[in-house]
Amino acid sequence: ACHTAVLKMRSNGCRRLAVYRGSRFLGLVKIQDLALAMASATRQRSSFLNVIVWATLALVFGLIVMLILQLPHVVDLVQGG
């Protein structure tokens, strides 16, 4: 909805857009309001992605540590011991 509103504002060369629900006037939305709403949504997505990335890195790090701890056993198997 924000993206559509920004496109309408750009195509009409305006900085405010009237908002209606049906025939009822709800108010005006400014381009600054839309920019803030879009930035907030981007921040929330970025935070979620950061959590996923850090969880993945923690998992990979844990697997690497586990493999390093198993390395002496693997060497013993290779040497026939």
pLDDT digits (tens, 9 = 90+) for 21-52: 999 999 999 988 888 888 887 777 788 888 99
Q: pLDDT at position 42, please?
A: 77
Tally of structural domains, the chain: 1
Q: Supply the pTM of this predicted model.
A: 0.48
What is the extent of the structural domain holding 52?
2-78
Q: pLDDT at position 81, please?
A: 65
Is residue 7's pLDDT more than 90? no
Phi, psi of 35 (to 5 degrees): -60, -45
Distance set, CA 61 to CA 8, 49, 58, 69, 73 (Å): 48, 18, 5, 12, 20
Give the residue-averaged pLDDT of 51-79: 94
What is the token pair recorded at 57? Answer: 């890195």
Close Cβ partners of 25 (under 8 Å, ≥ 6 residues apart): 18, 19
